[in-house]
Amino acid sequence: MDNEHLLTSPFAYLGRKVITLITEMGAMAIFFMKAFLMIFRSKQVPMIIQHIYYIGATSATIVMMVGLFTGMVLGLELFHTLLRFGSTGVLGSAISVALVRELGPVLTAIMITARAGSSMTAEIGVQRISEQIDALVTMRINPLRYIVSPRIAASIICFPILTTFFDLVGILGGYFTGCVLLGLNYGTYFSRVQQSLEMEDITCGFVKSLVFAVIVATVCCFQGFFTHMRRDSYGAKAVGLSTTSAVVMSCVLILVSDYVVSSLLI
């Protein structure tokens, strides 16, 4: 009997985990759909603008800084690698395609998760445990409309814009190391960028940034909104754990969905 239990228990554990994961994903999908539909209700615009400022404007500097150094590192590494094959002329193509299709959307999403996503979860989590969300319900204010929808709308607007900033600054960073520091001709660099970047690449980056926006905003808001349902902890500790879960889950889902979207659009 014990041996039998020993044999089946890993599968039972795995099964439970998978069921929990699927249930949670389903709940998140419903959560997103409900909140998304409420974006178009009245009185939402001022709140969306407020969140655009927080998610977008205040994150712009850090996103561009990361973009600049990513472009610079790419410029440095790729220049020396391409030098071995005598093809430094394609540096502009390599950097621009890598940034626009892949690194721009992914790194921007991860940076926003770390900066704005974590604070979304913590803020909503604190509102939940201090009964502020219950207070909204008693005032007949739908908390999904008031708290979640504006954040999702703001994320959908901000992610592509910030990704564009990241890409542009990254290309300039590549130019700085490749042309200014390492002596590559700047005309060659920019003509390669112009030649190799196609609309398809830009669309791919844009679609990815939209998908990541939905993932990050939904996961972070969901984790905060249901902080009180956690079984492993309560109160302030639950808010901390929810924030960690939100960041980890968002990062993992960004990379998983990146692969899925890439394989669909390639």
Partner 1 sequence: METPKVKIPLIEFQKLTKRFNGRAVLDQADLQIYEGEVTTIIGKSGTGKSVLLKHIIGLLAPDEGTILVRGQPLEKMSKRERYKYFRQISYMFQNNALFDSMTVFENIALPLRQTTRMSEETIERKVKARMEQTELTDATGKYPSELSGGMQKRVALSRALVTDPKIVLFDEPTTGQDVIRRNAILGMIAEYQRMFRFTAVLISHDIPDVFFISNRIIAIDEGRIIFQGTPEEFEKFEHPFVDEFVRSIEKLEEHLTGIQSKRQFKIRNQVGLSRKRPQESYVAALFTLDDFDRMCEVLGHTRGQEVLSALGTYINKHFGSVGGFSTRHSKNEFATLLPFSDPEEAGRILKDFAEDLQNEGLKSIQSEAHVQGETCFEFAILAGMAEGKAGDEEMDSILKEAHVRQREIARITCEKRR
Nearest approach in angstroms of CB 231 to partner 1 is: 12
Rule CB under 8 A: which residues touch partner 1?
Answer: 43, 123, 127, 130-132, 134-135, 137-141, 146
Q: From CA 218, how far away is CA 250, in angstroms rounded?
A: 9
Nearest approach in angstroms of CB 225 to partner 1 is: 16
Other Cβ atoms less than 10 A from the Cβ of 222: the count is: 24
Nearer to partner 1 by Cβ, of 54 and 176: the residue is 54
Nearer to partner 1 by Cβ, of 54 and 206: the residue is 54
Nearer to partner 1 by Cβ, of 116 and 215: the residue is 116
Nearest approach in angstroms of CB 236 to partner 1 is: 14
HEC sequence for the chain: CHHHHHHHHHHHHHHHHHHHHHHHHHHHHHHHHHHHHHHHCCCCHHHHHHHHHHHHHHHHHHHHHHHHHHHHHHHHHHHHHHHHCCCHHHHHHHHHHHHHHHHHHHHHHHHHHHHHHHHHHHHHHHHHHCCHHHHHHHCCCCHHHHHHHHHHHHHHHHHHHHHHHHHHHHHHHHHHHHHHHCCCCHHHHHHHHHHHCCHHHHHHHHHHHHHHHHHHHHHHHHHHHCHHHCCCCCHHHHHHHHHHHHHHHHHHHHHHHHHHHHHHHC
Nearest approach in angstroms of CB 136 to partner 1 is: 8
Map tokens 């929808």 to a residue.
149
Nearer to partner 1 by Cβ, of 132 and 191: the residue is 132
Nearest approach in angstroms of CB 128 to partner 1 is: 11
Nearer to partner 1 by Cβ, of 3 and 138: the residue is 138
Decide if 165 contacts 104 (C-beta within 8 A).
no
Nearer to partner 1 by Cβ, of 123 and 201: the residue is 123
Nearer to partner 1 by Cβ, of 129 and 214: the residue is 129
